[in-house]
């Protein structure tokens, strides 16, 4: 990875995308470690005699540190960039894994969950900032490549926990500290590039933090984007948390067959994340947001009443289309608030964590009261919130001609 910012255009682009792929790899490692926490809950419950309330507080400890700290860390780093914060954040996760592996008391489990949450809260806003800097103007593509690593990590964490931790015991969690160590090494190299980039940028002057839109327009835009996030992540929570139960209840299939359907959906989500950014760079972020949120409405409305075969097809279409929205939402918000890349990334990644966790809990309660079919019937209308995209401003006039995508 070449840290010299004065390379020619061709060499720079090659070096830059080495940085983006390195960040994607570390996103995989980070999200794999954090998803493992929930995957070992049954083991922790048995080993420590925990109640469901104590399990819930473990989740709360992680969510608070992983969600609420992200925008604060991002906002601080926007004003005072922390060149080596990325490997330091990964070090928090490493210590958290050891705390989980060798905890002798419930308090140490809480400590481990908090440390992993702190590591995640440092990683997401700062790595999103560096990915944008390394994008060479292809902001959507860089965000997609970065985010798909997280999708893969979230999917692989429970699998690794099932095949390694469940078989070998709680102390085997410590072996995953090797993943954190690899992340520290890679992120140290990324930080060296980031430091060189900062020094080169400092010689060019300060970043203009003034939005080209009135404050009222900025507030309205952020509110619309948050509502679109609500639509996306509540529906995603219904699928990731309860799709297996819906399939088993509606079609009478076994757990393993239902898990295969969930795997196909999550694979479609990863693919949608990967293509969403490049598509936004080509046709514009606003168009991708329109299509990815509102465009799935016919498919979500049909899914609760479809046959098993069509449910499989519809869920994959929904997964690909809906997942393509998140990179565009992040890029759109960063464009509307220039110079606040870290704060925006922290805010929206934090919202993603928070909304997903709260939605899963609320939908579970509703399913207990009204039934799983009722939940899916109600959630099928959520993409209609995508109509709010009509209130998003045209950001083409704030982009440089050489990097502005058509139809933004």
Is 14's pLDDT higher than 50? no
| Mean pLDDT taken over the chain | 80
Residues near 396 by beta carbon (within 8 Å), at least 6 away in sequence: 284, 404, 407, 408
- Give the pLDDT of residue 136: 80
Residues of the chain with CATH 1.20.1250.20: 9-200, 215-398
User: Among 125-129, 163-167, 365-369, where is mean pLDDT lowest?
Assistant: 163-167
Structure tokens that stand for 84 in this block: 């080596």
Structure tokens that stand for 385 in this block: 């919130």
- Give the pLDDT of residue 205: 52
Tens digit of each residue's pLDDT (9 = 90 or more) over 177-220: 898 999 999 999 998 888 888 777 666 555 555 666 777 888 88
Is 90's pLDDT higher than 90? yes
Tens digit of each residue's pLDDT (9 = 90 or more) over 135-176: 887 877 888 888 888 878 877 776 777 777 777 788 888 888
CA distance 322 to 331: 16
Give, in order, the Cα–Cα distances in Å from 345 to each of 7, 73, 334, 367, 401.
Answer: 28, 10, 8, 32, 24
Of 34-43, 249-258, 352-361, highest mean pLDDT: 249-258
- Give the pLDDT of residue 211: 61
- Give the pLDDT of residue 264: 85
Smallest CA-to-CA distance from 335 within 293, 284, 385, 273 is with 284
- Give the pLDDT of residue 120: 86
Q: Can you tell me the mean pLDDT for 354-379?
A: 83
- The DSSP letter of residue 176 is G
Q: If one looks up domain 215-398 in CATH, what number appears? A: 1.20.1250.20
Smallest CA-to-CA distance from 376 within 386, 384, 385, 366 is with 366
Give, in order, the Cα–Cα distances in Å from 56 to each of 53, 93, 333, 351, 404.
Answer: 5, 20, 32, 19, 45
The band of 115, judged by pLDDT with boundaries at 50, 70 and 90, is very high
CA distance 347 to 331: 13
Q: Which residue has the tokens 């080209």?
A: 212
Helical ranges in 102-207 per DSSP H: 106-133, 139-160, 166-168, 177-202
Structure tokens that stand for 273 in this block: 């994340």
Residues near 147 by beta carbon (within 8 Å), at least 6 away in sequence: 24, 27, 273, 277, 326, 327
3-class SS of residue 307: coil
pTM of the full predicted structure?
0.70
Is 22's pLDDT higher than 70? yes
CA angle 330, 331, 332 (to 5 degrees): 95
Of 133-147, 228-242, 246-260, 371-385, highest mean pLDDT: 371-385
- 326: part of which helix (H) or strand (E)? helix 325-336
Q: If one looks up domain 9-200 in CATH, what number appears? A: 1.20.1250.20
């Amino acid at each position: 990875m070449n840290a010299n910012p004065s390379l020619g255009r061709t060499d720079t682009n090659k070096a830059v995308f080495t940085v983006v792929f390195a960040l994607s790899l570390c996103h995989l490692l980070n999200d794999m470690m954090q998803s493992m926490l929930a995957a070992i809950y049954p083991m922790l419950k048995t080993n420590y005699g925990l109640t469901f309330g104590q399990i819930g507080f473990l989740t709360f400890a992680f969510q608070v540190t992983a969600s609420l700290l992200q925008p604060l860390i991002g906002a601080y780093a926007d004003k005072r960039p922390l060149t080596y914060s990325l490997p330091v954040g990964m070090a928090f996760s490493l210590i958290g894994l050891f705390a989980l592996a060798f905890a002798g008391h419930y308090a140490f489990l809480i400590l481990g969950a908090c440390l992993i949450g702190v590591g995640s809260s440092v990683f997401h806003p700062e790595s999103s900032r560096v990915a944008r800097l390394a994008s060479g103007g292809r902001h959507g593509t860089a965000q997609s490549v970065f985010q798909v690593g997280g999708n893969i990590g979230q999917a692989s964490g429970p699998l690794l926990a099932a095949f390694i931790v469940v078989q070998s015991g709680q102390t085997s969690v410590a072996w995953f500290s090797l993943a954190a160590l690899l992340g520290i090494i890679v992120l140290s190299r990324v930080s060296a590039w980031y430091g060189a980039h900062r020094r080169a940028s400092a010689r060019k002057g300060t970043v203009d933090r003034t939005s080209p839109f009135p404050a009222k327009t900025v507030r309205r835009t952020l509110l619309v984007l948050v509502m679109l996030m609500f639509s996306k992540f509540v529906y995603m929570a219904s699928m990731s948390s309860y799709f297996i139960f819906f399939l088993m209840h509606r079609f009478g299939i076994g757990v393993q067959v239902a898990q295969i359907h969930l795997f196909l959906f999550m694979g479609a989500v990863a693919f949608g994340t990967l293509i969403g950014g490049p598509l936004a760079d080509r046709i514009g972020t606003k168009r991708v947001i329109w299509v990815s949120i509102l465009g799935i409405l016919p498919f979500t409305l049909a899914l609760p009443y479809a046959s098993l075969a069509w449910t499989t097809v519809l869920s994959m279409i929904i997964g690909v289309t809906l997942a393509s929205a998140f990179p565009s939402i992040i890029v759109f918000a960063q464009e509307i608030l220039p110079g606040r890349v870290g704060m925006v990334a922290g805010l929206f990644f934090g919202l993603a964590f928070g909304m997903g966790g709260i939605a899963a809990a609320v939908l579970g309660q509703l399913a207990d009261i009204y039934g799983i079919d009722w939940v899916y019937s109600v959630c099928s209308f959520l993409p209609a919130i995508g109509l709010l995209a009509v209130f998003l401003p045209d950001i083409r006039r704030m982009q440089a001609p050489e990097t502005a995508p058509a139809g933004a």
